[in-house]
Amino acid sequence: MDQQPHPRENRLIVVSNRLPCVLEKEPAGNWRVVAGSGGLVTALHPVLRDRGGVWIGWSGAVEDPAEIAEVLRAHDRDVGYELRAVPINREEVERYYHGYSNEILWPLFHDLQSQCDFLPDYWHTYVKINRRFAEKVAADLRPSDFIWVHDYQLIDVAHHLRELGVTNRLAFFLHTPFPPPDIFLKLPEWHVLLRSLMAYDFVGVQTQRDRHNLVHCIRRLLKDAHVKAEGHLHRVTLDGRDSHVASFPIGIDFQDFAVAAAAPEVESMVQAIREHNRGSRLVLGVDRLDYTKGIPHRLRAFANLLERFPEVRGRVTLVQVVVPSRIGIPKYDALKVHIEQLVSEINGRYSSVDWIPVHYVFRSLGRDELLGYYRACHIALVTPLKDGMNLVCKEYCACSLEQDSVLILSQFAGAAAQLGRSALLVNPNDVEQMADAIYKAMRMPQADRRRRMRRLRRNVYEHDIHWWVNSFMRAVIDKELKDFPVLEEFVLPFDGQQWSRAVEE
Ligand code: ADP
Ligand code: F6P
């Protein structure tokens, strides 16, 4: 007899620090629901959308848990899955989110140890909040649920779930890079975190380099672990149980971006942007406010271009969009000031009566506006000092409907492993090399631009978010996304044929 649960019983439970939406209290006292930013939300929303699963996370608010649950319930129907908030108070946000997650793990995992603040109080609150997430997950669990925990803020959740007696298969995906042993060892709690990771049945990382680093840490630092390579997986046996480690580069919902980029509202936006900047090649940077994104280096590279190649003055404009993020952490506040100083220095030095070199935007853009910039700009400058993957570069390619734009990409973005052959690869610390790359992109013949962009788009299309989630699930539970129900009332008509033609062209 078939013991498999009916597909309708399979539930996907996504657990991440943040829910896909952020709740903000307006002065009048009512709650406003705004879309979250960051790669994790962009990637996972289409996976859960309309599937009737559950997303567990923090709402971004520090008060009124009962009211928040109410607001989220009303929002469930819009997104097609259930949102469950884990309450976190102001002091806990300070220590768990600002502190351990973003002043220790975030910089350390991005090889920026000089940015770390190793305060012992942070760790205790990190453990406490990870326990709270585990309790929320365990509170309403079915044996057939697939639990998928995400990112560095929640490494310790599996260990607590096991203590609570949960026997479901547990998977974890790390969206950031994983550091090599010499850097990981700087973490005072490295041994607890490494063992916690091995409490998951499956640990996915972005690139082969991250997998190599993680396996190297386990081999070197956990003397009682036994590691065996099995095809593209590594099996780790520790304390009598097995865990697997493998790399799965995350993708985007290519189809969704490309279709949305062709909408008339975006088309009008593209025309307005181009009209306003007539005669100028447009170079685009889009990043969360974060020191890992290399924004000051990029601005210096642009200044270097204007200085060394005076003939491009008046003929090139840098559009730099910075999305507010982690406001309240001093290093982020200082970075904002630094960026604004650099922008005004460049504009002060090179502007003319009819041209301003840097068009700077500091706010969260609406989707049409973001896609409008993706389509209107001739060159994208994606130059993080280090990045787990970087989805902006993939979104830019998906939106390049004319297949005529150029991607300049940091060799230290996870995406470089997939896109490096067709992008112009740069070292983000090398300001002159970046300036040369912009100059080269401006003068690149159309045939070359098209050849490269077609290859980029094909790669992003073939390794999209559905490919990612299916390969991950196949490896972890031998299932695909189709084994999880889609709620009929949410299914949108889609002409897949029409779409694949758009990619072929
Ligand atoms: P990270 O996860 O570090 O922020 P990524 O490049 O992987 O970096 O992801 C950034 C995500 O944020 C992208 O999916 C992008 O579409 C989204 N994003 C970019 N600009 C905005 C914006 N103005 N408002 C909301 N989301 C944005
Ligand atoms: O992709 C890395 C990541 O830290 C995600 O975990 C997170 O959702 C996103 O960047 C945005 O950061 P935050 O949630 O701290 O605003």
pLDDT value of residue 501: 35
Position 487 confidence tier, pLDDT thresholds 50, 70, 90:
low
Whether ligand 2 lies within 6 angstroms of the CB of 38 is answered as yes
Q: Inform me whether the pLDDT recorded for 492 exceeds 70.
A: no
Rounded CA gap, 225 and 504, in Å?
47
Describe the crossing of helices 496-504 and 446-462 by its angle, rounded to 10 degrees: 140
Mean of pLDDT values over 17-26: 90
What are the residue ranges of helices labelled H in 49-119? 65-79, 90-92, 106-109
Return the minimum-mean-pLDDT range out of 261-270, 308-317, 464-473: 464-473
Q: Inform me whether the pLDDT recorded for 500 exceeds 80.
A: no
Rounded CA gap, 366 and 265, in Å?
12
pLDDT value of residue 386: 98
Position 68 confidence tier, pLDDT thresholds 50, 70, 90:
confident
Answer whether 11-247 and 254-462 agree in fold.
yes
Describe the crossing of helices 254-261 and 496-504 by its angle, rounded to 10 degrees: 80
Instruction: Compare 490 and 346 and report the one with higher pLDDT.
Output: 346
Position 2 confidence tier, pLDDT thresholds 50, 70, 90:
very low
Whether ligand 2 lies within 6 angstroms of the CB of 255 is answered as no
Q: What is the pLDDT of residues 326-369, one digit of tens each?
A: 988 899 999 999 999 999 999 999 999 999 999 999 998 999 99
Mean of pLDDT values over 44-56: 86
Q: Inform me whether the pLDDT recorded for 498 exceeds 80.
A: no
Q: What is the pLDDT of residues 162-219, one digit of tens each?
A: 999 999 999 999 999 999 999 999 999 999 999 999 999 999 999 999 999 999 999 9
List the CATH code of the domain at 254-462.
3.40.50.2000
**Which of ligand 1's atoms lies nearest the C-alpha of 288?**
4
Mean of pLDDT values over 479-504: 53
Architecture per CATH, 11-247: 3-Layer(aba) Sandwich (3.40)
Return the minimum-mean-pLDDT range out of 44-58, 297-311, 447-461: 44-58
**Which of ligand 2's atoms lies nearest the C-alpha of 153?**
6
Q: How far apart are the first and last CA of the chain?
A: 49
Q: Inform me whether the pLDDT recorded for 3 exceeds 60.
A: no
Positive/negative CA dihedral, 22, 94, 322, 410: negative
Residue ID of nearest Cα to ligand 1 atom 2:
39
The rounded percent of the chain whose pLDDT value lies above 70 is 94
212 classed as catalytic: no
Q: Inform me whether the pLDDT recorded for 481 exceeds 50.
A: yes
Q: Dihedrals φ, ψ of 284, to 5°? A: -115, 135
pLDDT value of residue 8: 55
Whether ligand 2 lies within 6 angstroms of the CB of 22 is answered as no
Rounded CA gap, 252 and 217, in Å?
29
Q: Where are the domains of the chain?
A: 11-247, 254-462
pLDDT value of residue 479: 84
With a Cβ cut-off of 6 Å, ligand 1 is lined by: 37-39, 42, 286, 288, 323, 364-365, 370, 389-392, 395
Q: What is the pLDDT of residues 106-122, one digit of tens each?
A: 999 999 999 999 998 99
Mean of pLDDT values over 135-145: 94
175 classed as catalytic: yes
Q: By the 8 A CB rule, do 23 and 60 touch?
A: yes
Q: By the 8 A CB rule, do 36 and 19 touch?
A: yes
Active-site position among 290, 387, 436, 464? 387
pLDDT value of residue 4: 53
Q: What is the pLDDT of residues 394-437, one digit of tens each?
A: 999 999 999 999 999 999 999 999 999 999 999 999 999 999 99
Rounded CA gap, 493 and 160, in Å?
42
Residue ID of nearest Cα to ligand 1 atom 16:
392
Q: Please give the torsion angle defined by the CA atoms of residues 330, 331, 334 and 339, in that order, rounded to the nearest 10 degrees.
A: -150
Closest ligand to 106 CA?
2
Rounded CA gap, 379 and 359, in Å?
14
Residues 6+ apart with CB under 8 A from 426: 383, 408, 409, 410, 411, 433, 434, 437
What is the value of pTM for the model shown?
A: 0.93
Residues 6+ apart with CB under 8 A from 404: 378, 446, 449, 450, 453
Rounded CA gap, 450 and 403, in Å?
6
